[in-house]
Chains A and B, each alone.
Chain A
Amino acid sequence: MIKRISHISTLSLVLGLTPVYAAESESFNPAISLILDGRFSAYENETDYELPGFMLGGEAGRGEEGFHLGHNELAISANVDDMFYGKMTAVIADHEGETEVELEEAYIETLALGNGLTVKGGRFFSAIGYLNQQHPHAWDFSDAPLIYRGLFGDQLRDDGLQISWVAPTELYLKLGGEITRGERFPAGGASHGGAGANSLFAKIGGDIGESQAWQVGLSHWQADIENRTSGGHHHDGGAHEIPTYTGDSRISGIDFVWKWAPQGNASERNLKLQGEYFIRDEEGTVVMDDGSVTPESTTYDGEQKGWYLQAVYQFIPRWRVGLRYDRLDSDNRGSDQAVLAEAGLDNEGHTPERLTLMGDYSHSEYSRVRLQYAKDDSYEDTDNILTLQYIMSLGPHGAHQF
C-alpha cells in the first residue's frame, strides 16, 4: 500500500502536476483555542447541596452563587506528524481563592492506522454515553444532567488507552474499548497496578431521508475501587467523617440522539432530541473515615439509576430554546442503615428530579449568551435556579462531534 502511494507521488511529479499552491493554511503552529465562560447564578435555597442516594464526587455540585467564572479552558491541538494528532486542554479556575490550572485533557490519537482503527492514549473524556465526550462549552445547558452529576461527578475522564474501530458498512457502526488508570472519581485507588477501570462502547447511526440523522449508543464501564472518597452528608456538624467506598462498580448505559433540519439545512431551523439512561451496581464496604483506628462501617449493595431527556430547537437563525427533564432513583442496602445515611446513600424516599428551560442567542458560531431556569427537586427542598451565561470561543475552533 505504502509502496503504491509513493509510486503515485512519483507519477504526479512526472506529470508535472503540482498544485498552484497549497490551499490549506498548513502551518507548523498548533491551533490554539480559548473558551471563555462566565456566569451569574441565583439560587433560592441556602442549604448544602446533596443528591440523596448518591455519593457525590468529582466536580459535582450545584455551582457557585452570584457572579463567577465557569469553565474557562485553553486548548492546543495539532497534527503531530502524518501519524499522530495531539491535544491538550487546560482549565483555569479559582478554587477557594487560589487560581488552579487543571489538565483536563492531554492525549494523542493515531491518524493513519487505517482499516477504521484509531488508538488514543493519555488523558481523555471516555467515549461512554453521548454527552460525556463533549466539552462543557458544547453542552446545550449550562450544567450536566443529574445522572452525570450523580455517577461521574459531571463527566468521566481518566488516563489510559482507547481503541476504536469503525466498520466498513453502510450503517455507521463504531466499537471500542478503554483501559484506564481508575484513580479519578467514580473509580478510586487505581487498582490492578494502575489499570483499574475499563469500558466498552458501541455506537450505530445513520440518516433517515435528507432531513433526519440519528445515533444510538451502548456503553459499559467497570472498576475495582479502593477507597473512593466523597463529600457525603453534613447533617450534624460532628467530627469530620469522609465516606470511603471499597468494592466493585459497574455502570451500563444507553443513549440516543436524533436531529432534524429541513432538507438537512440546519442554519435556519433545526431540532435535536437526546436522552440517556445509566444504571450503576456497586457491592462492597463503606467506611466513615474519621481518622480513628475503628471507624464506623457498613456493607453496601447499591443500585443507582437515572435518565434525562432533552429537546433543543433553533427556531430562527441565532436563537434556540431548550427543555430538559432529569430523574434519578436509587436502592441502596447495607448492614448498617445509619452509616449508609451518613454517607449520603439513603435516599430518604426521595427521587431526585429537575426541569430545566433554556434560551440562548449566538451572534456567530463563536459567541453564545444563555439564560437558563431550573426547578430543581434533586434534594429535599425545591430550588429555583436562574443562570445567565456567556460562552465565547477564540481562535481556530475544531468541528464538534455529532
Chain B
Amino acid sequence: MKYTLCLVLIVMGIGLPQIAFSQLNIFACEPEWASLVKELGGDRVLTTSATTAHQDPHRIEARPSLIAKVRRADLLVCSGAELEIGWLPMLQRQAGNRKVLAGQTGYFEAAQWVDRLGIPEKVDRSMGDVHASGNPHVHLDPRRLLQIASALNERLISLDPSNAQYYQSRFADFKHRWQLAMERWQRLAEPLKGMRLVVHHQDWDYLFDWLHIEKVGALEPKPGLPTSAGHLAKLKHTLTEMPASAIVYTHYQNPKAAKRLSQLTGIVAVELPYTVGGGEGVTDLFTLFDETLKRLLKVKS
C-alpha cells in the first residue's frame, strides 16, 4: 500500500515520453564551454553553465539544482582531466541519467581532444592537488580551443543528426571568425613573447604555451594549497634575483596573496578574466582573449 505512490511515480518516470526536444539540452561545467556551445549550437541548443567565473571549478558542490540539471541534460560539456572530479561524478551518480555517463556520447570531455601540458610522471598527494592526466585548464590556448570546437561540432551532429547542416555551417562560420581573431591576437601579442609572470594557480599554462610567456612562480606553494607567509618570502627572494613583469590571478581567487606579494616586491598584480564573465565586457570567447591580451599589454607598456 505504502509503495503504491512510489510505484505510480516510478511507472510515470518510465512512461514519460522522452521530452520531445526541438533543442538539445546542454549542461556545460564551466562558462567557457557554455559559450562555445552557444557559438556552435545557436538556437538549436539550450545551454546552462554549472559554474560562473566567480567560482572555483575545482571546488563546486554537488548541489540539488545541479543534479536536477544533469537529470535533464542530453549532453555534458566539461573540461575533464579531473578538473571536475570533486563534484561531477557525484552529479552523474545521483541524477540517474544514463545518456551523460562517462563513456557515453552525452559526455564530452574537452581535455580529451588536445595535447595536455603538465602530465606528472608521478602523482602523490604531498605534491598538492595535481591532476594525473595533466593540466585541465585547456581553453586558454585558442589553437587548442579550435580543436575542441571541431570535436564538439561532431558531437552535436551525432546527437542531433537532423540539424547536421545547421551545425556544420555554424562551425564553419566560427572557425573562420576564430582564425581571423587568432591572427589578430598573435600580432597584438608579439610584445608579450618572453614575458615573465607569477601566477596564483596553474590556470594559465596553456595561454603561456601559446604566447611564449614564462611562468616564474606560483602563489600556491603546491597546486590547490593556500599560500603562506613563508612561501611568499621565498618567492620574493627568487623575484629579486630574477624579476617578473606581473603577478596574475583571477576573480575566484582571493586577491590578497597577489597584493601582498606585490607590496613585498613592487611587481604589479593584475586580475585576468580566466573565463567568460570574468571581467567587464567579457561576454564570449572572443572578448575573453581580447581582454586578456589588453590587460597583459597594459602591463608591458
Residues of A within 8 A of B (CB): 5, 8-9, 11-12, 15, 17, 19-26, 82, 85, 109, 111-118, 163-177, 198, 200, 203-207, 210, 213-215, 259, 263-268, 317-318, 364-366, 394, 398-402
Let me know if B13 is at the binding interface, CB within 8 A.
Answer: yes
> Known: A23-B109, A166-B68, A366-B125. Contact between A198 and B2, CB under 8 A?
yes
| CB-based nearest A residue for B88 | A399
- The answer to whether B158 touches A267, judged by C-beta atoms less than 8 angstroms apart, is no
Q: A263, A366, A398, A402 — which one has the most chain B CB atoms within 10 A of its CB?
A: A402
- The answer to whether B13 touches A177, judged by C-beta atoms less than 8 angstroms apart, is no
- The answer to whether B63 touches A213, judged by C-beta atoms less than 8 angstroms apart, is yes
Which of B35-43, B111-119, B175-183 lies at the binding interface?
B111-119
Let me know if B80 is at the binding interface, CB within 8 A.
Answer: yes
Classify the interface of chain B: helix, strand, loop or mixed. Answer: loop
The docked-state distance in angstroms from the alpha carbon of A285 to that of B252 is: 60
- Chain B residues contacting A165 (CB-CB under 8 Å) are 9-10, 13, 96
- The answer to whether A200 touches B2, judged by C-beta atoms less than 8 angstroms apart, is yes
- The answer to whether A205 touches B111, judged by C-beta atoms less than 8 angstroms apart, is no
- List 6 other contacts, CB 8 Å, given A11-B158, A167-B68: A24-B82, A112-B98, A118-B94, A206-B64, A264-B55, A317-B226
> Known: A115-B14, A117-B10. Contact between A5 and B55, CB under 8 A?
no
Looking at the assembled complex, report how far the CB atom of A398 sits from the nearest CB atom of chain B, in whole angstroms.
Answer: 7
Let me know if B54 is at the binding interface, CB within 8 A.
Answer: yes
The docked-state distance in angstroms from the alpha carbon of A332 to that of B32 is: 60
State the 4 A-B residue pairs at the shortest beta-carbon distance, nearest first. Answer: A205-B64, A172-B64, A399-B90, A112-B98
> Known: A205-B63, A264-B54, A267-B56. Contact between A111 and B109, CB under 8 A?
no
- The answer to whether A267 touches B59, judged by C-beta atoms less than 8 angstroms apart, is yes
- Chain A residues contacting B243 (CB-CB under 8 Å) are none
Which of B99-107, B206-214, B233-241, B259-267 lies at the binding interface?
B99-107
Pull 7 A–B residue pairs with CB atoms less than 8 Å apart, ordered by A. A114-B98, A116-B71, A165-B13, A172-B68, A177-B2, A265-B252, A401-B62
> Known: A165-B96, A177-B3. Contact between A23 and B133, CB under 8 A?
yes
- The answer to whether B80 touches A23, judged by C-beta atoms less than 8 angstroms apart, is yes
- Chain B residues contacting A198 (CB-CB under 8 Å) are 2-3
Contact among A172, A176, A364 with B224 in the assembled complex (CB-CB below 8 Å): A364
Contact among A12, A117, A203 with B154 in the assembled complex (CB-CB below 8 Å): A12
- The answer to whether A264 touches B68, judged by C-beta atoms less than 8 angstroms apart, is no
- Chain A residues contacting B281 (CB-CB under 8 Å) are none
- The answer to whether B154 touches A172, judged by C-beta atoms less than 8 angstroms apart, is no
Interface code B162-179, partner A: CB below 8 Å = 1, 0 otherwise?
000000000000000000
- The answer to whether A175 touches B2, judged by C-beta atoms less than 8 angstroms apart, is no
- The answer to whether A166 touches B101, judged by C-beta atoms less than 8 angstroms apart, is no
- The answer to whether A265 touches B89, judged by C-beta atoms less than 8 angstroms apart, is no
Let me know if B276 is at the binding interface, CB within 8 A.
Answer: no
The docked-state distance in angstroms from the alpha carbon of A88 to that of B156 is: 38
- Chain B residues contacting A172 (CB-CB under 8 Å) are 64-65, 67-68
The docked-state distance in angstroms from the alpha carbon of A210 to that of B294 is: 29
- Chain A residues contacting B194 (CB-CB under 8 Å) are none
- Chain A residues contacting B93 (CB-CB under 8 Å) are 85, 109, 111, 118
Looking at the assembled complex, report how far the CB atom of B148 sits from the nearest CB atom of chain A, in whole angstroms.
Answer: 11
> Known: A8-B159, A17-B151, A263-B54. Contact between A170 and B96, CB under 8 A?
no
Looking at the assembled complex, report how far the CB atom of B200 sits from the nearest CB atom of chain A, in whole angstroms.
Answer: 12
- The answer to whether B6 touches A200, judged by C-beta atoms less than 8 angstroms apart, is yes
Let me know if B72 is at the binding interface, CB within 8 A.
Answer: yes
- The answer to whether B90 touches A364, judged by C-beta atoms less than 8 angstroms apart, is no
| CB-based nearest A residue for B105 | A8
Looking at the assembled complex, report how far the CB atom of A243 sits from the nearest CB atom of chain B, in whole angstroms.
Answer: 29
Contact among A8, A175, A259 with B61 in the assembled complex (CB-CB below 8 Å): A259
- The answer to whether B101 touches A213, judged by C-beta atoms less than 8 angstroms apart, is no
- Chain B residues contacting A23 (CB-CB under 8 Å) are 80-82, 109, 111-112, 116, 133-134, 136
- The answer to whether B68 touches A206, judged by C-beta atoms less than 8 angstroms apart, is yes
- Chain A residues contacting B112 (CB-CB under 8 Å) are 19-24
Contact among B68, B111, B224, B252 with A170 in the assembled complex (CB-CB below 8 Å): B68
Contact among B52, B80, B113, B154 with A263 in the assembled complex (CB-CB below 8 Å): B52
- Chain B residues contacting A213 (CB-CB under 8 Å) are 61, 63-65
- The answer to whether A399 touches B13, judged by C-beta atoms less than 8 angstroms apart, is no
- Chain B residues contacting A205 (CB-CB under 8 Å) are 63-65
The docked-state distance in angstroms from the alpha carbon of A356 to that of B292 is: 49
- Chain B residues contacting A171 (CB-CB under 8 Å) are 68
Looking at the assembled complex, report how far the CB atom of B17 sits from the nearest CB atom of chain A, in whole angstroms.
Answer: 11
Let me know if B188 is at the binding interface, CB within 8 A.
Answer: no
Let me know if B254 is at the binding interface, CB within 8 A.
Answer: yes
- The answer to whether B101 touches A17, judged by C-beta atoms less than 8 angstroms apart, is no
Within 8 A of A (CB), among B274-297: none
- Chain A residues contacting B154 (CB-CB under 8 Å) are 12, 15, 17
